[in-house]
Amino acid sequence: MLDRRFCVAPMMARTDRHNRYFLRRISRRAVLYSEMVTTDAVIHGDRARLLDFDVSEHPLALQLGGNNPAILARCAAIAEAWGYDEINLNIGCPSNRVRQRKIGVCLMAEPEVVARCVSAMIEGCGLPVTVKTRIGVDERTDVAFLDDFVGTVAEAGARSFIIHSRSAILSGLCPKQNREVPPLNYERVYRLKRDFPALEIIINGGIATLDEAAARLALVDGVMLGRAAYENPYLLAEVDGRIYGDASPVASRDTVAESMLPYITRQCAEGVPLASITRHMLGLFRGCRGGRAWRRHLSENAHCSGAGPEVVRDALGPILRDAA
């Protein structure tokens, strides 16, 4: 059974396999989530490109976007065969692309459809099926609406819900605004846990520090961080010890950077542009002496033709000399 006390949120164009490999150099225990992959992409796209991951990324969940129970069940079976640990159904994304396909948060208004999808996915694979959603959508923001949604989907077999603590306003707000404008309502998530004590409730949205995460664990079963974990990835360094009680040694920032070099060498040899990897590493030394120079060197040089691990070594050199 996955221990979801601390999770890193699925983020489009961010939590790809390179990012997840990098984060796993920092925390061994945090549960990592893929970017959302639509069912059409899984069925008709390049599966290796979309689904491949390094074995070290476990525990790892695949987030799916879709609204057809039979196709979602087929994709869940594919994900299980691919080696994922969990399937997460996206009922929270407010992006225009997602809304045009009638998936994501717009499905929150159709709990029966979501319930049929979840039921089919559970029957189609042996993995845990979780649901990521919000506290409401458009004018449907009352307690009864959220309780009805969760109750209906739970009856179909879902036992774990990740709740973004904002509602989504689909008329008038862009996706970026939906991450910032609707007010956070953590109490609504806490109440949901009180109303459904047998369900696993994981809180998401606006949590920026490990202190905040630890405090919220007194009221819910797990926490999920998104932008904070991406922009300041080294905050994961204390997750294993503080959240999971793991006494294993914590890797230093420079050790994390150095541990990426063999991976970068392999990936570049396979034709992966260096910048596709290092863009996820820019925040590693955030708040540290030399952090701005690290970020600048990677940003300015990783895009150069033929760039490889030497760019990271050169960026790391001044930091190591200052520490000596």
Tell me the catalytic residues: 93
Show the beta-strand stretches assigned E in 21-147: 31-38, 60-65, 86-90, 129-134
Which is nearest to 224 in space by CA: 1, 15, 13? Answer: 15
- Cα–Cα distance between 200 and 214 in angstroms, integer? 16
Q: Is 125 exposed, middle or buried (0-12, 13-18, 19+ CB in 10 A)?
A: buried
b/e sequence 60-94, b meaning 16+ C-beta within 10 Å:
bbbbbbbbbbebbbbbbbbbbeeebbbbbbbbbbb
- Residues with Cβ < 8 Å from 134, sequence gap 6 or more? 91, 92, 105, 108, 163, 164, 165, 166, 167, 168
Q: Which residues pair with 163 in a beta bridge?
A: 133, 203
